[in-house]
Amino acid sequence: MYFDHLLDAVFGIRKIFHVIECEVCGFDEVYYEDVETKKLVGRACSHCNFVQKFDF
Ligand SMILES: [Zn+2]
């Protein structure tokens, strides 16, 4: 699926940190953490096609 490929490209290997309700569409907005560092890497909503990478 296209969106998963997009997430692979942006976030790499990741784990779901938590899921909240997307404030735009009401679908699942997923927060991801890096598998190794356990740091939050970004969030995404597959319904909105929204992807944001967190840069610290
Ligand atoms: Zn959404």
Say how many Å lie between the CA of residue 43 and the centre of ligand 1.
11
Is 37's pLDDT higher than 90? yes
Strand order in 40-45's β-sheet?
Answer: 14-21, 28-34, 40-45, 50-53
Work out the mean pLDDT of the chain and round it to a whole number: 95
Say how many Å lie between the CA of residue 42 and the centre of ligand 1.
14
Q: Whole-angstrom Cα distance, residue 41 to residue 54?
A: 5
Say how many Å lie between the CA of residue 25 and the centre of ligand 1.
4
Say how many Å lie between the CA of residue 47 and the centre of ligand 1.
5
Is 55's pLDDT higher than 90? no
Per-residue pLDDT, averaged over 33-56, amounts to: 95
Domain encompassing residue 29: 2-53
Say how many Å lie between the CA of residue 38 and the centre of ligand 1.
24
For 3, half-sphere exposure in the C-beta direction (CA atoms, 13 angstrom radius) is: 11
Domain count, the chain: 1
pTM for this predicted structure: 0.90
Per-residue pLDDT, averaged over 11-32, amounts to: 97
Is 1's pLDDT higher than 90? no
